[in-house]
Structure 1
Amino acid sequence: MNISGGRDASVAERIARMFLEIGVVKLNTEEPFVWSSGWKSPIYCDGRISLSYPQVRSYIKEELAELIRKRFPEVEAIAGVATAGIPQGVLVADALDLPFLYVRTKPKGHGMTNIVEGEVVKEQKVIVIEDLVSTGGSSLKATAALDLSGMDVLGLISVFTYGFDDAREHFANANIPFISLSNYDVLIKEAMEQDLISATDLSSLQEWRKAPHLWKQDA
């Protein structure tokens, strides 16, 4: 596998190409996928697949770690969001030689009933790692849990995002810096260049991106 994507390819382009090549992302405008929210979608992204490919896994880990070194040099801990953000977060914490925690979707139903697992240090500066960001709702629940635990959330970084306007607004309103290594617009551009989608597909994919909650709801 050529993970370089060419000398001039950006990190976002390289990840998009890898995701298309190994099947992390699937595109289908004719037989859309259905999300748990009930939204119909022409794209399905399963970042967990990347963990099965050592070269891809290592590249993502290194780029996440390098981004954190550059943008958040004061970081003192890494937190992953359950479940897909946990393995990515562990890899990054190991690369940076930092403590790791993870945030559950809801408090554990027994024992200590924790929602944040790991050693919580008050005012410790933490970066949150997500695999995928859609609307940002679950991500911001995780950052809120860390904040309530007394930790200082510096920002959230994801491997991939759909780039919805709602997500940008939610992070801005919460005053949480958000960065993603790759995104939907770059991926669709790569899919076009590889002739994986037609001009008709592109139009449909762009329409979904503008109003995902309305796309093909009457179909």
Structure 2
Amino acid sequence: MKNNDPQRQRLIELVRELAVIEGEVTLASGLVSDHYVDMRRATLHHEAAPLIGHVMLDMLEESGFGPDEIDAVGGLTMGADPVAAAILHAAASRGLAVDAFVVRKAAKGHGMQRRVEGPEIAGRRVVILEDTSTTGGSPLEALEAAREAGAEPVAVAVVVDRNTGAKERIEAAGVPYFAALSIDELR
């Protein structure tokens, strides 16, 4: 990823300003940290969200996972939802076809009773997303759900990696892991 990219630099500024909160907090992983990155404050922000889409799309393309190599992006609700939508819109603005999907925590008990919502992902190459990752639990859960739905997960991509083991766990599951930003860049 090009560290001097102006869009990426602006995204770092916005995430620092909007989403990094100092103070002790227990993370979803159960770990305790002296800071919290509330990425929904950035992924749902009018300026940061479009930047996230373009920065993530650029990172995937530079890593060999551009629109010719992937069909759809998505992950476990709720963290991945706005990231997937941002990438979908960034791709569309460039005339590229990348769909988005949502992985529910559990299948619906009514209607189609699907766990994976959106355009069909069976037989398609997908990238699993997350807004911020600590241990990789959410992307791994989404990865398994995508496989169960018949998709071919080709990578996991996160906006912010906390550098606390997610990369290693996800790569051990057989897919490459990419992060647009490191926690070290945000503090």
Give me the TM-score of the superposition, normalised by structure 1.
0.72
**Cross-structure match for 1:161:** 161
Map Cα deviations across residues 161-188 of structure 1 (whole Å, 9 max, x no partner): 11113x2221121011111111112223
The Cα of 1:80 is off from its aligned counterpart by 3.3
Residue 56 of structure 2 is aligned to residue 64 of structure 1: yes
Structure 1 position 151, deviation (Å): 0.7
Q: Return the alpha-carbon distance in structure 1 between the equivalents of residues 9 and 183 of structure 2.
A: 10
1:113 counterpart SS class: coil
What's the CA shift string for 1:137-181, capped at 9, x where partnerless?
A: 11111011101111111111111111113x222112101111111
Give per-residue Cα distances to partners, 1:17-40, cap 9 Å, x unaligned.
Answer: 322222x11112xxx123355433
Quick one: which amino acid aligns to residue 150 of structure 2?
Answer: G
Report if the CA contact (8 A) 2:131-2:158 is conserved.
yes
Structure 2: gaps (5+ residues): 92-96
SS of residue in 2 equivalent to 1:54: coil
Q: 1:99 to 1:168 in 2, by over 3 A?
A: closer
Q: Which residue of 1 aligns with 2:46?
A: 54
1:92 aligns to what? 87
Give the Cα–Cα distance (whole angstroms) in 1 for the partners of residues 173 and 123 of structure 2. 18
Distance in 2 (CA, whole Å) between partners of 1:142 and 1:80 is: 5
Percent identity of equivalent pairs: 25
Task: Name the stretch that deviates more: 61-70 or 83-92.
Answer: 61-70
Q: Does 1:131 align with 2:131?
A: yes
The corresponding residue for 1:42 is: 34
What are the residue-to-residue correspondences of 1:117-128 with 2, within 5 Å? 117-128=117-128
2:107 matches 1:107: yes
CA deviation digits over 1:82-125, x for unaligned, max 9?
Answer: 01211210121232232221111222232332111123243211
Q: Secondary structure at the match of 2:47?
A: helix
Can you give the 5+ residue segments of structure 1 that lack an aligned partner in the other structure? 1-6, 189-219
In the alignment, what sits opposite 1:21?
A: 17
1:80 and 2:71 equivalent?
no
Q: Post-superposition shift, 1:66?
A: 1.6
Aligned position for 2:176: 177
Native 8 Å contact 2:121 2:146 kept in 1: no
- Could you give the per-residue CA deviations for residues 51-100 of structure 1, whole angstroms, max 9, x where no partner exists? 45322222111111222233213111122320121121012123223222
Contact 2:72 2:121 in 1 (8 A): no
Higher strand share: 2
| Separation in 2, partners of 1:14, 1:140 | 29
Shift of 1:13: 5.3
